[in-house]
Chain A
């Protein structure tokens, strides 16, 4: 794609409506270099002098070599009954990407996530090519490799069908308010009788038991992320301190831009599920009850915070783009954005200083001479952070991200720009590795999605086959395959409001 063509399109744009600004970009605008160039004989590589390791990896690990390889969780059947929350979706998509058969069981009107558009803008909806049915990009992105069926669990008939489905399931994921499924007679204690091999995972914010368990509002609204993040001191310790950024500009405790509490709960739940699967297959032959919450999952990630409090009553405070544990290890503003530089050990720390000294010898002198900054651990003191980052930012003001990155990388310092979403989609290395890929979906066409991090494997790589599905698309197949219910009975059930009859 040449530059002029892209420019031309931009100039001709006439904006009369928000819709006019929604222009699909070509992707990727710049193709990454070819393998032959990256591994050419003149590319000196001290760790792989004869190129044999690079060749092995390219031949066996590259995500494009994944096609046709076996699936790690082949034959495992997962019923994903979660709605609204992200944790179940994350768990289901990881299991699905690794080859499990994941069936998303949705209420008749569908998972509300389907209709949560960013900033409420319906223009951002993806449309089913066949039916024109709209769905939000969130749903598309998080429910990959999942079949969709509709089943009204609030009806007796629906629950009976669900029980018959649960007989086949290895794993059930669920995030309804505590006790809902149990009340309906389809909780773990009922299902484990009809299917003792069942692994049943509940996801939530705070827990389904205990003095501060999940609850609903008096109108039935659920607790969703960031409730767990708030209750786990994640929010308290994220964000800029008012000393560095006044409160009115955002120097407050800050939540994550994405629902990361749910994401880590989903990942922790998946780890628990797979450990339970290992135990079931190798030892007991029996499943178990699992519970993963955002608050507790994130607490583990907060690492030493609570131990530090128990050590001497210290409460981890927020410190913006810095880190109180390592120096250097921060991002600071630069000429065209923010630049992250990291190097804690003496070897790396002085390499960073050498780079700065090239252009700012006085600043580098202030650091190099200071006896207080000579010892690695002492540099983590607050004064060490302030002094080091002030001098570093002084150097960064005259450097763009790309310049700073090139200069630091020339000395093997781990440094990288803070990239915006479009820049990530274009970053050569990520395009080459398929961190972001385009999926050709039967119903939604070309969809740009972030790839599974487990896509790069020798034997059983994770793959995305399709993105989120139209509501109830797989009713026909799943009902016939596991329940022996054909079209005639399905239509009858649909009339009773138990399921829907999907036809293209």
Chain B
């Protein structure tokens, strides 16, 4: 079974389980561009991987290299991995990281950007009239925050 196909070049190609569950064809290694033939039937690898000197039918979606600190070839890298069209937007704008915004789709304020400083108060309590809806990111980013929380403090005291 070679769902993560560790090629001799050191790159690991991830052959996602649904697409390759019943599959016969040639796959190109995202790391070194060499092509191998696979045959999967109901998940079982019946033939391959056999290296062939032909054009590939399909590219993997994702590959990484454990020997280089898991350097990754992301989805949709041209000529290396196939793109994923089932995304929610133009695939080129997809990052997989939090999108920081102060404006929503229709241009109004939305608080989708890291925290403002803690206001006064014994308990982390927030009233409904809280802080100004300032949009200046500099203000938000320069503030100090209390250190890491001390979990289970009361148990230690017991």
Contacts and interface: CB of A to CB of B under 8 A. Distances in A.
B154 interface: no
Contacts of A308: 88
Contact of A382 (B87, B105, B106): B87
Most buried by B among A333, A369, A371, A386: A386
Contacts of A370: 64, 70
Contacts of A381: 96-97
A271 interface: no
Interface residues of A, number: 49
Interface of B is mostly: loop
B74 interface: yes
Given A310-B106, A371-B69, A317 B19 contact: no
Interface in A346-394: 362-363, 365-366, 369-372, 377-378, 380-384, 386-387, 389-391, 393-394
B72 interface: yes
Interface residues of B, number: 43
B56 interface: no
Interface of A: 240-245, 308-321, 332-335, 362-363, 365-366, 369-372, 377-378, 380-384, 386-387, 389-391, 393-394, 396-398
B156 interface: no
9 contacts: A241-B84, A311-B104, A362-B6, A370-B70, A380-B96, A383-B62, A389-B17, A393-B17, A396-B43
B75 to A, nearest CB: 6
Given A383-B62, A383-B72, A387-B64, A317 B88 contact: yes
B9 to A, nearest CB: 16
B13 to A, nearest CB: 9
Contact of B4 (A310, A312, A316, A366): A366
**Which of B3, B69, B101, B106 gathers the greatest number of chain A CB atoms within 10 Å?**
B3
Contacts of A243: 19, 61, 82-86
A316 B89 CA distance: 9
A492 B61 CA distance: 73
B107 to A, nearest CB: 11
B105 A311 contact: yes
Contacts of A371: 69-70
Interface in B82-119: 82-89, 94, 96-99, 101, 104-106, 110, 112
B14 A378 contact: no
Interface in B43-61: 43-44, 61
Interface string B1-40: 1011010000010111111010000000000000000000
B102 to A, nearest CB: 12
Contact of B3 (A244, A377, A390): A390
A85 to B, nearest CB: 32
